[in-house]
Amino acid sequence: MPIPRRYRHGQWPNQGVFILAACGACIGLGNLWRFPALVVEHGGGAFILVYAAALLLLGLPVAVAEVVLGRGSRHDPVGAFRETAAIHGRSRHWAWAGWLAILGAVCLLILLAVTAGWSMGYLFRAVTGTLFQLDMVDATAMFEDLAMDVERSMLWITLFIGLVALVVSQGLERGIVPAVVVLVPMLLAGLLVLMMVALAHPSNPIVLDYLFTVDFSQLGQAGLLAALHHAFASLALGVGVLIVYGAALPARTPIVTAVGSVVLLDFLAALAATLLVVSLAPGFPPGPGLAFEVLPTVFAAEGPGRLLAVVFYATLVLAALTTGFALAEALVTGITENSRLSRAAAGGYVAAMIWLLAFAVVLVQTSPWAAATSGGLDLRAVLELFAGQLLPIIMALAGLLALLSVGWVAAPESVRHALRLDGWPWASALCHGLIRWIAPALLLIVLAYTITGLWL
């Protein structure tokens, strides 16, 4: 499968910029508030060790497969699946796998816009000093006040969508590249500062001993399944992001090395967040409440609390923005390559669509009529069901189809050539085996786990 010379939407100037952009796409809010709570819930060091193995056996192969699809076709997600199938004499109906990824990107960007709006609101409060002198009751009331205020929520959501649309409308080389070169190092620097604060905390010796003591008796089956699920979910897989970013990757870039660097940085980001949360606020459940109700009271009790709060919420905003760029790019390229619209027009349509759907989500969250009534439909429960279980199923299915496309539709020799591991035949065979056999089996377990949770 010869690699086309150039992607019509531009090209990454070098491997380093691709790694920065992909890190920005993958390091998201789940790393910063969900992973630490999962570590506490499932046994500390044992969960971290199993999660690292899950990243290698599941997350890395799916990420590599998506980049191979993108670079081998130089197309958006829909075109990538369609062209890969056509080149190898298979049905063009594989394009539906790309549309499934596009659907996942739409849904994820809507949810991201809502949580990014909360993060921007809290960053503003941290900067202006209105976030402090709060107890747990006040902090909970403050978050509920923001989340239930349609006007303020939509103000921050509009700002977030506007920034994302402004960058993506400029294209890859004039918009996304300059943005990620500036913002992703700031994101990584913020994580480093948070990690240093955690390491300097008085509880640090106890925390380190807890995180790096491996006791598998505390893990259990639930911990194994949670590690597999989060290893897939934390890398922005199944939403076409790495396909479009891979499409712009120079032909000579070694995919496994580049993607492996992204996975490693994503893992280190999750560890940095875990050190902070376990040091300052151990034992709290995952979700927005940890970031917006618990941590404000913790920051108020710390010495450099205001500065720490600014860094933390700025890191949340940067993670949301860089993930938003990637999701919007997947949508814009999908529209431009499957219609006659220009990038500017496609960007405008995407921004309007996400804004309207995010507005609908906010209305469902805040309006009394959305709650369950006697014999009525509980729209809030439907929204929670979709975000918590149906969207993960969509993403997992798209990721599974990417594995099958690269592992079974594409010829093995073309995949090994795309991986650029010619001097390492054993590594090439191992990577192809992971894509073809191990990762699909693990992803089927994740799917079964998610579907079981849907019906129980």
CB 318 within 8 A of CB 92: no
- Please measure the distance between the N-terminal and C-terminal CA atoms of the chain and give it in whole angstroms: 44
Count of Cβ atoms closer than 10 Å to residue 95 Cβ:
20
CB 392 within 8 A of CB 411: no
Q: Which residues contact 406 (CB under 8 A, 6 or more apart)?
A: 65, 68, 69, 84, 415, 435
Domain presence at residue 43: yes
At 356 the pLDDT is: 97
Q: E strands, 189-278, where?
A: none
Domain presence at residue 26: yes
Domain presence at residue 38: yes
At 302 the pLDDT is: 61
Note the maximum CA span of the chain.
67
Block means of pLDDT (10 residues each) for the chain, 456 residues, are 72 96 92 86 90 97 97 95 93 95 96 95 89 77 88 96 97 96 97 88 78 85 92 94 96 93 96 87 68 82 76 95 98 95 94 96 82 58 81 96 96 86 80 95 93 67
Domain presence at residue 5: no
At 455 the pLDDT is: 55
Alpha carbons 321 and 447: distance in angstroms, whole number:
28
At 366 the pLDDT is: 84
Total domain count for the chain? 1
- Say which CATH number the domain at 407 has: 1.20.1740
At 371 the pLDDT is: 63
Domain that holds residue 165: 15-367+375-455
What number of helices (H) and strands (E) belong to the chain? 24, 0
Domain presence at residue 438: yes
At 389 the pLDDT is: 85
Question: Is the pTM value of this prediction over 0.85?
Answer: yes
Domain presence at residue 411: yes
Selection from 237, 236, 262 nearest residue 249 by Cα: 262
